[in-house]
């Protein structure tokens, strides 16, 4: 066996297993630009403050992006996760008003998680079991969830106890904010799950559902489970978002869905299923957030901000197509 060949096989496997390579490069570039443009970034304490304020804002979207990635790995798409954030957000906002009854508050949080799981099951049932088109179906169910949110809380309101929001916003450990620990915990859990049977089944189902079925994998169950994971993570995102803002709004998650999908694609996850990584999606959210920060640092008109943001999203969505165009020409 010649070395060149082994090297090539290693490289192609590396690329397949680490689909985030491109996003890692973009991440380094945008972060470098941000740190250079940000005045006094390296003074004492500033870095921790920047990390804390940025990551506590990004964490809800990161949760959604992770859920979205798992659904996409299984060959589906979930356009309803943002609406689930809105729904969870308003339920928490109207229910949790004081910290005197921790048990009651805890039950509410469990209830929100249950709603996420049920909604995810509903999405999965319609798409995987009934065989409906995921894009249309979850777009439709998103109206159900956001409609419910609007019914519960027509006007933004909320009075989440300070003690709770402070704990989320300001907790750091060794200069590292809580949000980063949560991200690390999720990625580590995934690393374990990925190398279990469930992980293999998920990649097989997304890669070629017929093949998975012929091999004896319960394709429908796996698919439904991905939507339930997405619903679960959307509920966690709702809890975190509520802690972040301290109040509720029926439109709070509306913009998150597209950002999460864009981040997943930017992170190297394939819309066709069966290939991608959660780490890439986390990088994707960070990249999009950093670019947003860069735009505001550059003191552009607000109209241009929206335009640049939209351009970035379109470029990210188009990147897989452009890359494969280049590969074909070779």
Partner 1 sequence: MKSISLNAQHITKHFGGVVALRDGSLNVNSGEVLALVGANGSGKSTLAKIITGVISRDSGEIIYNSEAVVFNNPLAAHLAGVTAVYQELSLVPSMTVAENIWLAQEPLTKIGQVDTRKTISETRKLLNLFEGTYQSTLRPNALIDSLPPDEKQIVEILKAISRNPDVLILDEATASLDSRQVECLFSLVMEWKNQNMALIFVSHRMDEIFRIADRAVVLRNGDSVGEVKIAESSEAEIVSLMVGHESGLGRTERATLKISDEIALEVKDLNTDVLASVNFSVKKGELVGIGGLRGQGQSNLLHSLFGNKRYEGQMTLFGETLTANHPRAAMKKGIALVPGDRATQGLLLIRSILENLHLPNWRAYGFPLKIRKAESDANKIAKTLNMVMESLEAPVSSLSGGTAQKVVIGKWLLRDPKLLLLDDPTKGVDVGTKAEFYNLLDRLCETGTTILLYSSDDQELIDLCPRVLVMQDGFIKADLSGDSLTKANLISTSMGAGLNAVNG
Kindly state the tokens that stand for 218: 């319960």
213 lines the binding site for partner 1 (CB under 8 A): yes
CB nearer partner 1, residue 49 or residue 208: 208
CB nearer partner 1, residue 231 or residue 280: 280
Query: Taking the chain, what is the end-to-end CA distance rounded to the nearest angstrom?
Result: 26
Phi/psi of residue 247, nearest 5 degrees = -150, 180
CB nearer partner 1, residue 143 or residue 198: 198
139 lines the binding site for partner 1 (CB under 8 A): no
Residues 6+ apart with CB under 8 A from 111: 91
H helix runs in 153-196, sequence order:
162-170, 178-194
215 lines the binding site for partner 1 (CB under 8 A): yes
Is the CB of residue 61 less than 8 Å from the CB of residue 285? yes
Binding-residue pattern over the window 253 to 292 for partner 1, x denoting contact by CB under 8 A: ---------------------xx-----------------
CB nearer partner 1, residue 113 or residue 205: 205
**Strand, helix or coil at 329?**
helix
CB nearer partner 1, residue 9 or residue 255: 9
Kindly state the tokens that stand for 207: 């890669």
- Total site size for partner 1, rule CB under 8 A: 28
What is the b/e burial string over 241-257, where b = at least 16 CB atoms within 10 angstroms of the residue's CB?
bbbbbbbbbbebbbebb
CA-nearest of 267, 269, 239, 270 to 253 is 239
210 lines the binding site for partner 1 (CB under 8 A): yes
CB nearer partner 1, residue 9 or residue 101: 9
162 lines the binding site for partner 1 (CB under 8 A): no
**Strand, helix or coil at 113?**
helix
16 lines the binding site for partner 1 (CB under 8 A): yes
9 lines the binding site for partner 1 (CB under 8 A): yes
- What are the C-alpha distances in Å from 23 to residues 121, 266, 284? 31, 6, 7
- The residue range among 22-30, 177-185, 210-218, 286-294 that interacts with partner 1, by the rule CB under 8 A, is 210-218
1 lines the binding site for partner 1 (CB under 8 A): yes
Chain residues that interact with partner 1, rule: CB under 8 A: 1, 5, 9, 12-13, 16, 192, 195-197, 199-201, 203-204, 207-208, 210-218, 274-275
């Amino acid at each position: 066996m010649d070395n060149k060949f082994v090297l090539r096989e290693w490289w192609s496997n590396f690329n397949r297993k680490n689909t985030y390579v491109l996003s890692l490069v973009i991440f380094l570039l945008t972060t470098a630009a941000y740190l250079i443009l940000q005045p006094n970034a390296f003074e004492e304490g500033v870095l921790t403050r920047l990390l804390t304020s940025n990551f506590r804002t990004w964490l809800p979207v990161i949760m959604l992006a992770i859920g979205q990635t798992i659904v996409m790995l299984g060959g589906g798409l979930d356009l309803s996760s943002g609406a689930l954030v809105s729904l969870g957000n308003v339920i928490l906002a109207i229910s949790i008003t004081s910290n005197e009854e921790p048990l009651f508050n805890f039950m509410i949080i469990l209830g929100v998680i249950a709603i996420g799981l049920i909604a995810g099951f509903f999405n999965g049932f319609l798409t995987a079991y009934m065989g409906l088109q995921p894009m249309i179906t979850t777009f439709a169910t998103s109206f159900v969830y956001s409609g419910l949110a609007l019914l519960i809380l027509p006007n933004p309101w909320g009075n989440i106890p300070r003690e709770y929001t402070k704990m989320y916003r300001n907790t750091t450990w060794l200069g590292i904010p809580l949000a980063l620990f949560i991200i690390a915990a999720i990625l580590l859990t995934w690393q374990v799950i990925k190398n279990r049977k469930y992980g293999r089944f998920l990649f097989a189902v997304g890669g070629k559902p017929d093949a998975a079925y012929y091999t004896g994998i319960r394709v429908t169950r796996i698919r439904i489970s991905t939507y339930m994971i997405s619903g679960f993570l959307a509920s966690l995102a709702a809890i975190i978002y509520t802690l972040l803002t301290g109040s509720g709004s029926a439109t709070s998650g509306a913009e998150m869905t597209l950002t999460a999908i864009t981040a997943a694609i930017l992170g190297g996850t394939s819309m066709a299923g069966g290939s991608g990584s959660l780490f890439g999606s986390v990088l994707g959210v960070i990249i999009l957030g950093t670019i947003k920060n860069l735009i505001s640092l550059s003191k552009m008109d607000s109209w241009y901000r929206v335009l640049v943001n939209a351009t970035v999203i379109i470029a990210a969505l188009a990147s897989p197509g452009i890359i494969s165009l280049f590969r074909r020409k070779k």
